[in-house]
Structure 1
């Protein structure tokens, strides 16, 4: 029953476009670093020893 209730809440949130958009943006903003980012950084530190390059800014 809890799964069905969660699905119903998700469906209701999705129907409210503004609410869904806000939740999506906040979720992305709060997601933090991916574990693969950490793993690649560790490989670089421990094995590859490459110089880190900063990302280019948009625009």
Structure 2
């Protein structure tokens, strides 16, 4: 359950690699070993969600 804030996940070939815990503002890796080879800034996910919400609100307002 991701809550009312939505979700941000990254998948490869149908398998989830990580998701961003929006409340704790951190990246959660499905396999912790992946975090040694790659990184992801959770602020980027939060930014993308904010832009998406703003765009949706503008489209609703102008329709």
- Asked if these proteins are the same fold (TM beyond 0.5), I'd say no
Q: TM-score scaled to structure 2, two decimals?
A: 0.29
The structure with the greater share of residues assigned to strand is 2
Which of 1 and 2 has higher RCO (CA within 8 Å, sep 6+)?
2
Which structure has the larger Rg over C-alpha atoms?
1
